[in-house]
Amino acid sequence: MNPDTTPTPRTYQLLASGKAHYMSRLCRQLERELAEKTNEVARLKEMVMDAAKRGDKLAEHWKGRAEKAEAIIKQLHNFAETLETRIRYQEQLNHNPNDKPS
């Protein structure tokens, strides 16, 4: 059914019966319903946009936290490497006590 050329079943029924005043009432009712649906769509769109903004803020927050965590992990790896180097050096000194620096 093409809405531009074909009346809806309810509209067609009123036109066929010759009840123009009902047609006028139906048009007003449909206008109100359309306005209500338009308002509902606008409200839902606003809710979706607000949720998207909150999501963007949360994503930015957690991105910053992840970057900080990665920096801490890198520092911990560097510290662990330093400790391992120090332990290996100490073990070498323990095995060769004559090689100690003065």
- Using one digit for the tens of pLDDT, what is the confidence trace for 73-92? 999 999 999 999 999 999 98
Residue 101, CB half-sphere, CA atoms under 13 Å: how many?
2
Is pTM beyond 0.85 here?
no
Please check the confidence at residue 6 and state whether its pLDDT lies above 80: no
Residue-range domain boundaries for the chain: 9-99
What span, in angstroms and rounded, lies between the C-alpha atoms of 58 and 62? Answer: 6
**Where does the chain have alpha helices with state H?**
9-17, 20-95
Whole-number pLDDT of residue 82: 95
The tens digit of pLDDT for each residue in 10-58 reads 666 766 776 777 778 888 899 999 999 999 999 999 999 999 999 999 9
Whole-number pLDDT of residue 27: 83
